[in-house]
Amino acid sequence: MRHLHMYFVLISATAIQQAHAADPDQFRGIAPTFDSKIAQEQVQQNPESIDAAFVLFTALTRTDRVEEALRELRFIKRLADRENRPSAFDEIVASYEKAVACNSNLIEPRYALACAYYIRANVLYRHAKRAAPATMTIADSIKQKATPEVQRAYEIAMKAFDEVLQRNPDDIWSAVYSAHIRAEYTGNLDEAEATWKAVKLKHPDSSAPEFFLRQVELRRALPVKNRYSRTELISSASFTVVQSFSVLSTVPLSRSKNRVLSATACY
């Protein structure tokens, strides 16, 4: 994704071919797009590319396909786990920082930057947790109490979403995912719930806010001591209970289609 700032648009299939022909190394073979169909095609061609997975995740977050987006998020974190280095996502973050610097009036690169910092926060958090598992308590599972690097990544992600909403208050996806990130970061479900309810009233045809509202109900049904545990998994008729960290980090890398949601993705 080098020189991403030179070409951040909603890229069509033809434009991708033209960009690659002009400079095959410009995006390391991956083009930025919010078109989920194009993003999916890139993933199929590059099944273990963290760049392709990120573009697909970002594209999916701008649709009602929330569960697919969170599944892609888990896949990205496992790709980063395999590299076993906290800087695994730094190059993607740097690319979108350049994109924002050179296209400050566009919401697309700023939205993608918010997503990039959110994933970077998750990658850093997982690395910190593995480095000192014996000292991580349930309270530490609220990411606001994690390392300064994790805090900074979350805060930049939230700020970037806020800046998108300042430019376009009707951007439903920024409102939905900003609330999700804040709830994950602070553990404050009440504030997030209020946002999702407001978005649902304003956009009754979207299923995204309803998805997260269901997660709030499921989370509150857990015992208080487990409510913010990062290894707890939400269980309902629709979700399968498995143990999160050990299972998700040891199975072969693949985009599983089973409906498993861990608290790593939803509080």
Q: Is residue 62 part of a domain?
A: yes
Average pLDDT of span 216-245: 48
With beta carbons less than 8 A apart as the criterion, state whether 63 and 234 touch: no
pTM (whole model) above 0.75: yes
Own/partner contacts of 199-207, CB < 8 Å, gap of 24 or more, are 199/172, 199/175, 202/170, 202/172, 203/172, 206/64, 206/172, 207/64, 207/66
Q: Is residue 47 part of a domain?
A: yes
Q: Taking the CB of residue 185, how many other CB atoms lie within 10 A of it?
A: 23
Tens of pLDDT, residues 147-196: 888 899 999 999 999 999 999 999 999 999 999 999 988 888 999 999 99
* 203: DSSP letter: -
3-state SS class at 136: coil
Q: Is residue 244 part of a domain?
A: yes
Q: Is residue 262 part of a domain?
A: no
With beta carbons less than 8 A apart as the criterion, state whether 188 and 228 touch: no
Q: Is residue 264 part of a domain?
A: no
- Give me the domain span that covers residue 42: 4-223+230-250
Which phi and psi (to 5°) does residue 15 adopt?
A: -65, -35
Query: Is pLDDT of 97 > 50?
Result: yes
- How many angstroms separate the CA atoms of 226 and 88, rounded? 30
For the chain, how are helix, strand and coil distributed in percent, rounded to 5?
65, 0, 35
> Given CA atoms 193, 199, 204, 210 in this order, what sign does their dihedral have?
negative
* Position 231 confidence tier, pLDDT thresholds 50, 70, 90: very low
**CATH number for the domain harbouring residue 70:** 1.25.40.10
* Per-residue pLDDT, 226: 53
* Position 98 confidence tier, pLDDT thresholds 50, 70, 90: confident
Q: Which residues contact 102 (CB under 8 A, 6 or more apart)?
A: 5, 6
**Which of the residue ranges 3-17, 55-69, 142-156, 207-221 would you say has the lowest mean pLDDT?**
3-17
Q: Taking the CB of residue 170, how many other CB atoms lie within 10 A of it?
A: 9
* Per-residue pLDDT, 163: 96
* Per-residue pLDDT, 73: 94
Q: Is residue 38 part of a domain?
A: yes
* Per-residue pLDDT, 52: 93
Alpha helices (H) in 61-188, listed in sequence order: 66-83, 90-102, 107-131, 148-167, 172-186
Own/partner contacts of 220-225, CB < 8 Å, gap of 24 or more, are 220/189, 225/138
Q: Is residue 260 part of a domain?
A: no
* Per-residue pLDDT, 82: 82
3-state SS class at 14: helix
What percent of the chain is predicted at pLDDT more than 70? Answer: 66
Q: Which of 251 and 118 is assigned the larger pLDDT? A: 118
Domain count, the chain: 1
